[in-house]
Each structure stands twice: as C-alpha cells, then as structure tokens.
Structure 1
Amino acid sequence: MELVSPESWRSTLHKKQQQWIDRTLFTRSRLQSSQFITVLALVVNSFHPNCSHFFLNGTTPNITDILVGGRVQNQNRYKLICQKYKNSYRFATLYDTTNMIPVFSAYTFTGPPTDPRPDLPWMIEPQLNEVDNNPEMVVDHPFPHQAGNNDYKNSIDSNGVNRGHLFPNLHANDLETQESTFTLTNIVPQVVSFNGGSWKDMECKVRNTLKDNCKDANNNIKAYVVTGAAPSESNKLNNRVNIPDLLWTAYCCKINQGQWVARAHWGENQEEGKGKTLPSNTTAELYEMLNQHYPGGGVQVFPDQCSNSAAPHG
C-alpha cells in the first residue's frame, strides 16, 4: 500500500476545501441571480400535529377526491405543506403539483400587520421536487412539480396575470409572518385587475371586520381563515401553471358575545372594471358553489358550528 505523506495529505485537503468554498460561492451567486431563496417548509403526511392549530378544532376542509378526513386521496399529486419560516410554523397549504398551484392556504388571523409590506425574493419548496435541500437543485429550472419565478416572467404581458397571494401579507400580524407568505406555494396566477381591484378591496374589508369583531376567550383577536382557488380546465401560464377560474375565501370566529360567526367571498379570475365589489355570502352558499367545481360534492371548509352562523356587524 502506498503511503501518503502529511504534506501531500494537507495539500489534497486544502484543494478540496477550496473547491467546496468555490462551489458555495458559485451556488450563492446563482441563488441571488435567480431571485430565489428556499423556505423551510415541511411536506408532511398530515397537518397534525404541527399545523393543526391553523384549523378550527384541528378539522381540515373536506374536498371530495382531494382531502377527506384530513387524508390526501392522491398523495402523488397533492401535498400537505406546513409552512415553516424562521423556526415557526406560519400557515398550512394543500398544494396541487399537477396544476402547480395551491388548493388552499389556511391561517389564523391575529391582527393586522405592524410593518410595511416586505420586499424580498420569492421562496420555493424544494421538497416538492423530491430532492434534498441542496441549493444547486433549487436554482434548476423548470421545477417539475411547482411554479417557479420564470413562469411569472412577462406574465402580465402574455396572460394579464401576476402573483396572487392566498394568505395575503396584509392579514399577517408580524413581519416574519408577512415574509413567510412570499412563497410561490402560496401563490396563484391572478388577473391583474381582479387582484388589485375587488379581491384586494375584499381582503381589506375582511381584515377590518376580523380586527374589530373576532376575539378569543382571552379577548385577543383571532379568526380562522381558509382561502383557495378552483382550477380551470386548460388555461395555463407558460404552458405549465394553471390559471384558476376563481378564488374563494372564508372565515370563522367568535365575536364578543361568544357566538360563532362566519362569512365567505369569491370572485371569478377575470378582467374587471373599477369599482366592482364582491358580495358577502354564507359558508353554505360557498359550499354549494364549490361543489360545482369539484365533482362528487361534499365540500366543507369549517366544522358545523360555522355552517349556519350569522355575519358580524361592522
């Protein structure tokens, strides 16, 4: 056996260390140029226990053939994501890897933001690509199971859409939770005039309603919110990412008197004129509408105590 001298061994080690440093610097450069950072989300088999607190009584929505009794029906296509950012779970997402958009995101509203809208790169979830968290894999494109930043390149000119949050940053109470919403697993292609028009108007009104009316047993602001998108048949962005037919949202909370209240809103993802508003509906009306988009019926977003509750005042 050939002996290796200490000098030769140290030289080889130094070369390997330098190669690792060069590789790391190159990777960081590519990541910065791609305008992506990874988010420490977890693809899980169940929202329980890490993310169950984002759902009233820990009860997840039922959507026939997609999510029933908290169990994904097609685990190759649909993925449960506990959105973890800076060591805390921020919200939960059910993601459709075929359409490359979320089915819904669920979160608790605990008050309006205390900081301005953050400006940071869009994040992705590397686990959806069935790879480890190697950053070199993150910058490869196209991503086979999720939308990427390049999918939204020139999206306004080509399709008239931009990035639409399901969990909006203006419903996040602190800066880090605001930042966590800027992951493409929380985003759908949304028609620009709809995103900045009636949908934004509704988000602001709902925020104020929840802030003024929804309180837990300790008199702290708290409401459960689920926001989703119903996919289109074949309308796609960049020949990859489904452009949904409509967006919907629903909330449920207790008001000061301890009564459960719930309301729902939805709107078609299409061009609209200025001044359009979205009507407030019952959750029962929402379920009836969603059953038309998801064959088999049986859609239910919240437990029964939210099904027939009245709207809060204010």
Structure 2
Amino acid sequence: MMGVLNHLSTLLLLSLLLPALSHVVEKFSDVKDCEKFFLEGTTPNLPGILVGGTVQDQNRYKPICQFYKDRYRFATLYDTTNRIPVFSAYTFTGKVVGRPSQSWMIEPQLEDINNQHDMKVDDKDFPHNQQAADTDYKNNNKHLDRGHLFPCLYAPDDAAKRSTFTLTNIVPQARSFNQGSWSRMECRVRDALELNCKDANDQIKAYVVTGAVPSNNNTLKNRVNIPDLMWTAYCCYNNNLKQWVAQAHWSKNVQDTNKKTLTPETWGSLEGELKNSYKVDGFQVFPKNCPRTVILSVLEDETGRNLEGVEEVEPGKRGAGKGAERGAEKGAIRWREHQGS
C-alpha cells in the first residue's frame, strides 16, 4: 500500500512539474516565469493575433517561453506560417560585453518533439515544418542577415546571450539596415536603459518588446517571410523622475542609405504605425500606466549637465529630433528638461 502511495505521489509531482518545463504553451500566463517578461504580466494586444493574452489562431501562432540552460530567458510569439516571430519580449537588467560563438538553434516543440525542453542546435536532419532552418538563411542572394529581435547585446550574461541565437528569435533583415541604423539605435537605447531605467533600489530594469510586421508575399527561399517593418519599444520606471517612461523606434526593412538615423518616438505613435501596417485598430504594446504620449528625449546641453526630463509628443509627431540624435551619436546620453506643464 505504501508503495502505491509513493508511486501516486511521484506521478502527482511530475504532473505539477511538467507544465513548468514546457515552453511552447497555449498562453504565456501558463508559465509564471514567462509572465515576468511582460510589464505587469500583460502581453501586447495585437488584433487578430493576440487579444487579452489569448492567441486567436492557435494552429498558426505559438507562444514560446524561451528555455535555455535551466531557466526561461525571454518570450516569443511565433508565426509558424511565415516562419518568423511576431515579437520577442524581454527584460533589460544590464549588459555584458561580448558576443559568444554560438551555433544557431531551433525549437523542437514546434515540431511536436515534446521530450526536448531546451533549445536544440539546428541540423539538416531535423524537421523544419513549423519554423525556419539555418539553411534558409545561408547563401541567400538578397543581402539578408539573421536579424535578432531580442538582441544579443542586451543580454545580462553568457547563457542569456547564447539563448538569443534561436531561429525563433530571428527574421530576415536587410544587411546594411541590420548592421547600420538598427544597430546604432540598439546601442543608443541600451545606453539609455542603463542610465534611465533604475528603480528605488538603484537596480536596472526595463521591459522591452521587439517585433516584425510580415510582408504580403516577399519570402526568403520560398519559405521564410521577409518582414516589411521592424519595431521596438521599451517602458521602465525612472526613480529620479518618479514616473514610468517609454520610447519606441521602427523602420522599414530595407537596405540603409546615407547612414540614416532612427528617431525616438512615443509608443502611442508606434501603435498608430502598427494600425497602418496591419490595417486594423486596437493595438496596445504596454499596459495603460505606461505613458503613450510622453517620451524621454536625448539631448546634450551647452553646459554638459546630465539632464533628466520628459517631453509630451502628439501621436505621429517626431520626438527628440536631430539635435538629440547628434548628442547620442557622441556617446553622451543626457535627458531633455521638461518645459511647461
């Protein structure tokens, strides 16, 4: 009798543990350690795709709680039809310099291999019915890179950096765009997050969501959608200002010309851009306590003071402007003083 009870206890324990190990899920909220990548545990609202935390087409869109080396690293909503992520969500808590030499990985559970709870290094013998393969990106004649949504340079340690090298976190990105204006923007934002996103305990923490809008029929090797637009936004609490602050960027996924600069925008303006791209209304990237029309703008003043402040911007209007970008390019991140109410 005691043996039967022990066996039943073991089965009960396993039933409680297995859902925590699973990382292709029905809802991100199914895994508590996955919810933490979203501000207040609230996922973006994407009409027709993800509404109120529920995937609208569960055969096509798959929430992935990205699991690598014994823990969850970030969250991705993956489009198995286009074989690219809709978005990746992650927290920024500080950076570690360096880029590991890491082979590209895939998500076994997308191919119904459920006994594999970790990312797996891709190989040609692995099925790729629901996701991109590394060979899709190799030897392409369109000058496309494997473009990270959760950037390696934002990861807080070596294992987290390696976890970003999953093809479920990657889209085909125009090479000069990936290595040009998008890369420069990522570096500027990373520096801003380190300086600006500190809580009452002086700990760095920001919530970031980065996504891609798919094209209608532009594909890589007739398998992987080449997105039309890439976007990113962050929200964090600024203890000096005693308020939540936010910023967004986006750009068409085309080759760069003339070293263009991506200007900071409000995330309310980003939602308007997503409305235009998807031809549907109702987008919400962050919960409502994150300011939609207030932006932290980057400027260098004449005295070299380290200024902090916010600026209210009408939706669709540019934020910090050229002067701000020139200050950022110099490597000096200084915040614009708020004028007026």
Q: Report Cα offsets for 1:197-235 as digits up to 9, x if no partner.
A: 000000000000000110123210010000000000000
Aligned partner of residue 212 in structure 1, secondary structure: helix
State how far apart, in whole Å, the 2-side matches of 1:223 and 1:136 are: 29
Secondary structure of the equivalent of 2:251? Answer: strand
1:188 to 2:164 alignment: no
Structure 2 counterpart of 1:47, from 3, 20, 28: 28
Against the structure 1 CA distance between its residues 295 and 118, is the aligned structure 2 distance closer, same or farther, given a 3 Å change threshold? same
Which sits farther off after the overlay, 144-153 or 274-283? 274-283
Call closer, same or farther: CA 1:225–1:137 in 2, change over 3 Å: closer
Task: Choose the corresponding residue for 1:102, options 65, 70, 85.
Answer: 85
In structure 1, how many angstroms separate the alpha carbons of the residues matched to 2:193 and 2:259?
Answer: 23
Return the letter of the residue paired with 2:177.
F
Is 1:122 the counterpart of 2:104? The answer is yes
Question: C-alpha separation between the residues in 2 aligned to 1:272 and 1:136?
Answer: 31
Distance 1:159 1:120, change over 3 A: same
SS of 2:211's partner is strand
Calculate the TM-score normalised by the size of structure 2. Answer: 0.76
Residue of 190, 207, 221 corresponding to 1:207: 190
Q: Which is further off, 165-174 or 138-147?
A: 138-147
2:133 aligns to what? 148
- The aligned amino acid for 2:107 is E
- 1:173 equivalenced with 2:134 (yes/no): no
**RMSD of aligned Cα (Å):** 1.8
Whole-angstrom CA distance in 2 between matches of 1:220 and 1:71: 32
Task: Return the letter of the residue paired with 1:277.
Answer: T
Deviation at 1:133, TM superposition (A): 4.6
Tell me by how many angstroms 1:146 deviates. Answer: 0.3
> Could you tell me which residue of structure 2 aligns to residue 310 of structure 1?
295
Which of 1 and 2 has greater Rg?
1
Superimposed CA distance per residue, residues 28-87 of structure 1 (whole angstroms, 9 cap, x where no aligned partner): xxxxxxxxxxxx871011112231111110000000010000000000000000011111
Deviation at 1:152, TM superposition (A): 0.6
Counterpart of 2:207, as a letter, is: Y
CA positional deviation for 1:129: 1.4
- Describe the SS at the equivalent of 1:170: helix
Distance 1:279 1:41, change over 3 A: farther
Mapped contact 1:44–1:81 kept (Cα < 8 A): yes
Aligned counterpart in structure 2 of residue 264 of structure 1, from 234, 248, 252: 248
Between the aligned residues of both structures, percent identity stands at 58
> 2:263 is matched with which residue: 268, 279, 299?
279
**How far did 1:127 drift?**
0.8
Distance in 2, Cα, partners of 1:274 & 1:290: 26
Deviations 1:227-282 (A, max 9, x none): 00000000000110000001000000011232110010001100112421101101
Q: 1:300 aligns with which of 264, 271, 284?
A: 284
Assess if the C-alpha contact under 8 Å between 1:41 and 1:83 holds in 2: no
Q: Tell me, yes or no, if the aligned pair for 2:265 and 2:295 is still in contact at 8 Å.
A: no
Q: Distance in 1 between matches of 2:95 and 2:225?
A: 30
1:84 is aligned to 2:79: no
Letter in 2 for 1:71: T
What is the match of residue 338 of structure 2? none
Q: Which runs of 5+ in 2 are unaligned?
A: 1-20, 298-307, 309-333, 335-341
Give the deviation of 1:159 after TM superposition: 1.3
SS at match of 1:253: strand
- Report the Cα offset of residue 126 of structure 1: 1.0
Question: Structure 2 matches for 1:23-62, cutoff 5 A?
Answer: 42-48=23-29, 49-62=32-45
Q: Which residue number corresponds to residue 248 of structure 1?
A: 231
Would the aligned equivalents of 2:199 and 2:237 in 1 still touch at CA under 8 Å? yes
TM-superposition CA deviations, 1:266-303 (whole Å, max 9, x none): 01100112421101101111000001122321111001
Name the CA distance, whole Å, in 1 between partners of 2:114 and 2:295.
47
- CA 1:204/1:212 → structure 2, altered by over 3 Å: closer, same or farther? same
